[in-house]
A and B are shown apart, each in its own frame.
Chain A
Amino acid sequence: MLNINEVIETNKMIHEMNLDVRTITMGISLLDCVSDSLDEVCENIYNKITTKAKNLVKVGKEIEQEFGIPIVNKRISITPIALVGGACCKGPEDFVRIAKELDRCAKEVGVNFIGGYSALVNKGMTKADKYLIESIPEALSVTDRVCSSINVGSTKTGINMDAVKMLGEIILETSRKTADKDSIGNAKLVVFTNAPDDNPFMAGAFHGVTEADTIINVGVSGPGVVKRALENVRGKDFEELCETIKKTAFKVTRVGQLVAKEASKRLGVPFGIIDLSLAPTPAVGDSVGEILEEIGLEYAGAPGTTAALALLNDQVKKGGVMASSYVGGLSGAFIPVSEDQRMIDAVEAGALTLEKLEAMTCVCSVGLDMIAIPGDTKATTISGIIADEMALGMVNQKTTAVRIIPVIGKGVGDTVQFGGLLGYAPIMPVNQFDCSAFVNRGGRIPAPIHSFKN
């Protein structure tokens, strides 16, 4: 039978260390909503989403109340819209119409984000893919809850540099269109390489075409719990450090597994995966930067940071896979800047630069995330940053992503407020040397060789 110390430990994790389930994300396939009439597609999408996800928020709240564990977000991921709208959209404006419909659905069922305004163009672009990408600035400025992601590369196909070039311009245009709200549009846009089909986290979630009709994916979190556990092993060797992270990750993931199973049962929707990520929030004590400090660094960004992050990421996975048989999504440590107070502090102290962040993304999940840069950055420079990050993912056979926000009217030294879970960020300096001749070449970077690994 349970003992009182175990009960106290669990409740302390929840109440004092910000343990929560970050998101229950319902993946919904919209492939059966396809039609050659835009009106019909919109109607089908509305009917399908509002039927399947009708009880999502309600069930989430019930579980939250009965188990006493906060479930911060309830969200929906959908089939990449470029596929769904391909037959009926004759231009970018038609895709914007679908975006508005998705926004309406999200508001109706009460989820805070819907992800999947996406295109998968890692090798080439169809006409529909191109229209969708062109529609992003308008779509993200006229909607509140729609998230967009574009997969521009993969280990098997290489990198679509035409798409990378285009997205540099699209990101700048999205910033301009949402300039009155500190260019927040780009907080809802992610550029990926090797994008996972079952990621429950926003803004990069979409429901891949290999998935079932409807599934439940759950993203757990808990950087605060790991940090507090590590306080007890200060000065101890790496073996003890790693053991502690693993055990903590196990406990955190088990909670996610319970919530996922319960949600799946109550909603009558199969369980997909648990994403065991350490996802920080701007709240004090809910930070990945703080874990890195606890491991022994003055600030995230100090020498040793990449190694510390590599071991953290690996131990989280090792603990988590024991706790759930179906681990997927991104699974690892997230290192967004604006959403993590200690990462913000590290940038402000001058310890953390864009280049160091890039190195860190080689060993952890995701990539350059929620980074604010000057609004006058050139489109080709943004494309260059994306290409670098995509190359890391392509060569290392991992997911990498870029969610970068050029903030119109602001420069290095300014701060930008996004609000809520998105936090705030100091504008980071960008390398000023030119890469336009590289970006403007056009075409594809070929897939890397899979042998002779050095």
Chain B
Amino acid sequence: MEGKKLKKSIITVLGKDSVGIIAKVCTYLANNNVNILDINQTITGGFFNMMMIVESEEVVKTFPVMASELEQIGEELGVKIQAQHQEIFEMMHRI
């Protein structure tokens, strides 16, 4: 899997808002050569919701490794970070 093209993925961050969440996630992505295509955020019910659409041509890490590292960063920040392949959302919301 090393070096294989990565599909478009969605990274979501959910939790209490605090300083530096986006910075930390973006730094991680930059370090791993992951390109951010779109970034969007909203506050619902006092919770910080962020969604990133990302793409990476030359992935240095496999998807599961990246997903679990992002999850760990989330734990350090006290938020829930999840990375998922984009198709699950497209299948559900697009005919």
A residues sitting closer than 8 Å to B (CB atoms) are 1-4, 6-11, 62, 65-69, 251, 254-255, 257-258
Task: Report yes or no: B88 in contact with A258, Cβ–Cβ below 8 A.
Answer: yes
Q: Which residues of B contact A65 (CB under 8 A)?
A: 64, 67
B residues sitting closer than 8 Å to A (CB atoms) are 10, 12, 14, 38, 40-42, 44, 49, 51, 53, 63-64, 67, 82-93
Task: Report yes or no: A4 in contact with B93, Cβ–Cβ below 8 A.
Answer: no
CB distance from B11 to the nearest CB of A (A): 10
Task: Report yes or no: B67 in contact with A4, Cβ–Cβ below 8 A.
Answer: no
Q: Which residues of B contact A62 (CB under 8 A)?
A: 64
Task: Report yes or no: B42 in contact with A4, Cβ–Cβ below 8 A.
Answer: yes
Q: Which residues of A contact B89 (CB under 8 A)?
A: 2, 6-7, 10
Task: Report yes or no: A67 in contact with B85, Cβ–Cβ below 8 A.
Answer: yes
Task: Report yes or no: B40 in contact with A11, Cβ–Cβ below 8 A.
Answer: no
Task: Report yes or no: A258 in contact with B40, Cβ–Cβ below 8 A.
Answer: no
Q: Which residues of B contact A1 (CB under 8 A)?
A: 38, 53
Q: A65-B64, A66-B64 are known contacts. Are A4 and B88 too (CB-CB below 8 A)?
A: no
CB-CB nearest 10 A-B residue pairs: A68-B84, A254-B91, A6-B93, A4-B40, A67-B88, A258-B91, A4-B51, A251-B92, A7-B51, A254-B92
Q: A2-B89, A66-B84 are known contacts. Are A7 and B12 too (CB-CB below 8 A)?
A: yes
Q: Which residues of B contact A2 (CB under 8 A)?
A: 10, 51, 53, 86, 89-90, 93
Docked Cα-Cα span, A2 to B84, in Å, equals 13
Q: A66-B63, A66-B64, A68-B82 are known contacts. Are A4 and B92 too (CB-CB below 8 A)?
A: no
6 contacts between A and B (CB under 8 A): A2-B93, A4-B49, A6-B89, A8-B44, A254-B92, A255-B88
Task: Report yes or no: A258 in contact with B10, Cβ–Cβ below 8 A.
Answer: no
Q: Which residues of A contact B12 (CB under 8 A)?
A: 7-8, 11
Q: Identify whether the interface residues of A are mostly helix, strand, loop, or mixed.
A: helix
Q: Which residue of B lies closest to A13 (CB)?
A: B92
Task: Report yes or no: B42 in contact with A67, Cβ–Cβ below 8 A.
Answer: no
Task: Report yes or no: A255 in contact with B91, Cβ–Cβ below 8 A.
Answer: yes
Docked Cα-Cα span, A68 to B80, in Å, equals 13
Q: Which residue of B lies closest to A63 (CB)?
A: B85
Q: Which residues of A contact B83 (CB under 8 A)?
A: 68
CB distance from B65 to the nearest CB of A (A): 11
Cβ contact of A258, chosen from B67, B82, B87, cutoff 8 A: B87
Q: Which residues of A contact B90 (CB under 8 A)?
A: 2
CB distance from A426 to the nearest CB of B (A): 37
Task: Report yes or no: B38 in contact with A10, Cβ–Cβ below 8 A.
Answer: no
Docked Cα-Cα span, A194 to B53, in Å, equals 47
Task: Report yes or no: B88 in contact with A10, Cβ–Cβ below 8 A.
Answer: yes
Task: Report yes or no: B84 in contact with A67, Cβ–Cβ below 8 A.
Answer: yes
Task: Report yes or no: A10 in contact with B82, Cβ–Cβ below 8 A.
Answer: no
CB distance from A66 to the nearest CB of B (A): 5
Q: Which residues of B contact A254 (CB under 8 A)?
A: 91-92
Task: Report yes or no: B64 in contact with A7, Cβ–Cβ below 8 A.
Answer: no
Q: Which residue of A lies closest to B64 (CB)?
A: A65
Q: Which residue of A lies closest to B37 (CB)?
A: A1
Q: Which residues of B contact A7 (CB under 8 A)?
A: 10, 12, 51, 89
Given contacts A3-B40, A258-B91, 12 further A-B contacts (CB under 8 A): A2-B51, A2-B90, A7-B10, A7-B12, A10-B89, A11-B14, A62-B64, A66-B63, A68-B83, A68-B84, A68-B88, A254-B92
Centre residue among A62, A68, A251 by max chain B CB count within 10 A: A68
Docked Cα-Cα span, A2 to B14, in Å, equals 17
Docked Cα-Cα span, A66 to B42, in Å, equals 24
Docked Cα-Cα span, A3 to B93, in Å, equals 10
Task: Report yes or no: A10 in contact with B87, Cβ–Cβ below 8 A.
Answer: no
Cβ contact of A11, chosen from B38, B53, B63, B82, cutoff 8 A: B82
Q: Which residue of B lies closest to A67 (CB)?
A: B88
CB distance from A168 to the nearest CB of B (A): 45
